[in-house]
Chains A and B, each alone.
Chain A
Amino acid sequence: MLAGDWLIVIASSVLVIFLFQHLWSHEHATTVQIRLDDTVYGTYSLNQQRDIHVNGTLGKATISIINGKARFSQSPCHNQYCVHQGWLSRSGQAAICLPNQLSLELIGETKHYDSLNY
């Protein structure tokens, strides 16, 4: 191993650690934002137990909130990808239902890099 090799090893180790810290944030979300088409339908606290019914492009979808988690629990869409995605609890997580034009995004105390609007 040459001097430069060590430099590359250290630099890439730092990069890997940075990636883990940045992309594997385990910060719990506090609110869920529901978007219909390209407008914000509503923002709800995750600190409650509630089912929200939203009329999407295809029909009525149900979004459940329980103890800091949120999910699509029922959707009129054909492929049901959004429902199969299950519970979301970390800040920055999102579930998107393209056919019904609905999306959930979990928001924490500090908003992370926004993959939906980026």
Chain B
Amino acid sequence: MQINTTINDHRIAKLAAFAIALHMLEAVIPSPLPGVKPGIANIVTLYVLFKYDFSSAAWVSMLRVFASSLLLGQFLSPTFILSLAGALLSLCVLWLSMHLPRKYFGAVSLSILAAFAHIAGQLMIVRLWLIPHASVAYLIPIFALAALFFGVINGLITHQLLNNNLETKLENKTDSASSTAT
């Protein structure tokens, strides 16, 4: 069976693999509170959104959510549903906020908005499905604070990566690696 792939597909696959690796890395870092995570894989989503377009970013994000959950053995578990809800809502918000004037709103803005959307999506699932109880409200400020903090950090990292042209360096590296392999 032959699937015809384009350069774009390869690029998405490469970037998604990178996002999955970051997601795996994060999965082994212990978290003080379940749910409070840096979300470093979102750096890749943001990077792709700025560098390429929204559909590439959506592909990378969705591939990351599905593949990571398969790798961690969480596919279709509540963790996966939470991850999916967060990713979907933050993609929606990214789609809306990418129309903001680029002159004033950079990676940091989008990162913060996406981080808030991420926890909002997750908390909605928690409230509606997992813990249908008002006590969840006590956790909202903590999640919001974490979203703001990591949103700023991830945004700054993305900003730096975009300026450094990281991907061309990576491509050169993988090109030289594949040429030595052959």
Contacts and interface: CB of A to CB of B under 8 A. Distances in A.
Nearest to A81: B133
A38 interface: no
Chain A interface residue count: which class? 20 to 34
A8 B105 contact: yes
A58 B100 CA distance: 58
Contacts of A96: 133
Contacts of A94: 134
B87 to A, nearest CB: 20
B141 interface: yes
Contact of A16 (B100, B109, B144, B159): B144
A1 B144 CA distance: 21
Interface in A6-26: 7-9, 12-13, 15-16, 19-20, 23-24
Nearest to B149: A16
B148 A2 contact: no
Contacts of B106: 1-2, 4-5
A16 B112 contact: no
Contact of B113 (A8, A13, A24): A8
Nearest to A17: B141
B141 A16 contact: yes
A110 interface: no
B138 A23 contact: yes
B148 A12 contact: yes
Interface in B10-68: none
B169 interface: no
B141 A24 contact: yes
Interface in B100-150: 100-101, 103-106, 108-109, 112-113, 116, 133-134, 137-138, 140-141, 144-145, 147-148
Given A1-B106, A1-B156, 20 more contacts: A1-B108, A2-B104, A2-B108, A4-B101, A5-B104, A5-B109, A7-B109, A8-B113, A9-B152, A12-B116, A12-B144, A13-B148, A16-B141, A16-B144, A19-B140, A19-B141, A24-B138, A94-B134, A115-B134, A116-B134
**Which 4 interchain pairs have the tightest Cβ spacing?**
A4-B104, A115-B134, A4-B105, A5-B108
Interface of A: 1-5, 7-9, 12-13, 15-16, 19-20, 23-24, 94, 96, 115-116
